[in-house]
Chains A and B, each alone.
Chain A
Amino acid sequence: MAKELKLMKGNEAIAEAAIRSGCDGYFGYPITPQSEVMEHLMIEKPWETTGMVVLQAESETSSINMVYGGAGVGKKVMTSSSSPGISLMQEGLTYLAGAELPALIVNVVRGGPGLGTIQPSQADYFQAVKGGGHGDYQMYVLAPASVQEMYDFVFKAWEIAFKYRNPVMILSDGAIGQVMEKLYVGPHIPRWTEEELRKNAPWASCGKPTSRDHNIITSLDLDSAKQEEHNHKLQAKYREMEEKEVLFETINCEDAEYIFVAYGSSARIAQKAIQLGREKGIKVGLLRLITLFPFPKKQVAEFSKKVKGMLAVEMSAGQMVEDVRLAAEFRCPIEHFGRYGGIIHTPHEVLEALEEKIIKG
């Protein structure tokens, strides 16, 4: 397959991937630091080439409900936003999960709480993996660490979203969204024809042929016994994702006595900290999370039996560290380090935290 080399921002890579992956519709609202997603789409005008619809909505609330509507008729639809906007979308996310609809939501995280700041942060981990909206539900959450992964994960998102009929979130951050890197893009995958849509998404409410009953997309069931049954079905789906769809990467872990656990920007910073540590004779490796839900519980548990300690590195006050501790069941010391509120930690700070909090312990 011919690959083309480009230089792009992470946000632009999301937009480019949307067009090239056969996305049918993007619905968004401007917010820093992700506005380049919609800007790039408006410049590219995919409605003239692939037929993809791009629409600027009046709010994030409206964007996510446009996504909900589009998903309900079987289209490949997406939105992107940043933290405060994603908070507004929580209603739509729980409806998507409840109605079992495939969709892609990109969160280019900025510092919070509240209006916070426009600089990078990883403080939306809880919101992304623990629900955010109401009810028992999960999204499949991918954490890109490069512009290339911003691009690649859009394709991955469609695969998972339609396989499981579930919303997928790409949880990025302001650094990955804004940084410009080289990336390889592949050829265009055509949008589904109506025939393909009806075959791939027979549940879609896209117009009732005489050959079948009417389809209904809803998250409502007033009969609580049926609602519990529906919840069981959802939980089974999430357990299947945990069984089959966990993604992670291990770097310098073969001989490691200490492990950094990190994702996204923090994983890249941790890689540099590994280099600095190894220069000082500290055997440290990195477990880089690619999926945040499902969380690589087994891998963390295995490491916890072998290493002297783990440091969860994240640009938050300590969110992912809770899942690391749960999976490790306190078999080894586990501490958190991270700058937050829009500050990015340096590799030196990360190494120093390992030495102070774990090694000297």
Chain B
Amino acid sequence: MFNPDIIKPENLVYKKTNVLTDAVMHYCPGCGHGTTHRLVAEVIEEMDIQDKAICIAPVGCSVLAYNYFNVDSLGAAHGRAPAMASAIQRMFPDRHTFTYQGDGDLAAIGTAETIHACNRGENIVIIFINNGIYGMTGGQMAPTTLIGMKTATSPYGRTVELNGYPLQITELLAELPGTYYVTRQSVHTAAAVRKTKKAIRQAFENQKNKKGTSLVEVVSNCNSGWKMTPVEANKWMVENMFAKYPIGDIKVDGEKVKK
């Protein structure tokens, strides 16, 4: 039964941010994209930078991110978002240009654009979703696919002989002097979600203070591509993905974090 007391402001415990549109997301149930979108949007709202935020959507599962973020947006060609963001942020230095990219986009076809934007220390925020697979095109092998992992283009499992090694691009980018903040997070538990939000906030704060490139990797699942239920996928992610892609800060305030 409807209780009008519930909608009193003092009873408000959660509200959808207006930096997300009301468009229905196309992401698979259980996927980390939706949660990560929400966190980015909430940070933009809390920092009151909606009018200054410019989103560069990639090619991949989040190709339609511009329909969900209620900020001015551009859809990039595959892998080219960091080049676009570089130009935009240089010509509009008071803006908050951010890219939102997957592992195929950022770590395969866009490797050159990613490395050089980071190496120039472009004052941009990169949100990097790593689920070890090409989701949108039907679950093919990505540069971050683990050894032994079965995908549509590694149907018997990825092998070093045929495909080389999973690319730890985030560690590689942390080596570049242009990156100021590099962290790896996840969104599979409430605690992890809170940490990721904090990391995203840090990235945008760095940008506000013109510190250079901030990159937040979110290790995520792909229950459709991995052929698992969302619960199984998260369990598999913790056991396997986190072993290769350990969660935590890699570089803070321009300094590598000592392990």
Contact = CB atoms under 8 A, between A and B. Distances in A.
B77 A55 contact: no
A57 B91 contact: no
A69 interface: yes
Interface stretch (A209-217, A247-255, A283-291, A307-315): A209-217
A283 to B, nearest CB: 52
Nearest to A222: B64
Interface in A63-118: 63, 65-70, 72-73, 75, 77, 91-92, 95, 99
A206 interface: yes
B66 to A, nearest CB: 5
B127 interface: no
A61 to B, nearest CB: 7
A55 B112 contact: no
A195 to B, nearest CB: 14
A53 B91 contact: yes
Contacts of B73: 205, 214-217
A55 B72 contact: no
A195 B245 CA distance: 46
Contact of A69 (B71, B86, B116): B86
B50 interface: yes
Contact of A55 (B56, B69, B70, B86): B86
Interface in B51-95: 51-54, 56-57, 63-64, 66-67, 69-77, 80, 83-88, 90-92, 95
Contact of B63 (A55, A215, A220): A220
A206 B83 contact: no
A219 to B, nearest CB: 7
- Interface footprint category on B: 35 or more
B54 A207 contact: yes
B83 A207 contact: no
A220 B75 contact: yes
A218 interface: yes
B51 A208 contact: yes
A214 B69 contact: yes
Interface of A: 24-25, 27, 53, 55, 57-59, 61-63, 65-70, 72-73, 75, 77, 91-92, 95, 99, 204-210, 214-220
Given A73-B92, A205-B74, A215-B72, 19 more contacts: A61-B113, A62-B80, A65-B80, A66-B84, A67-B87, A69-B76, A70-B88, A73-B54, A75-B91, A92-B77, A204-B72, A205-B54, A205-B73, A206-B95, A208-B51, A210-B51, A214-B71, A217-B73, A218-B74
Closest 10 CB pairs of A and B: A69-B84, A218-B75, A66-B87, A205-B72, A65-B80, A65-B83, A58-B116, A217-B74, A62-B83, A72-B74
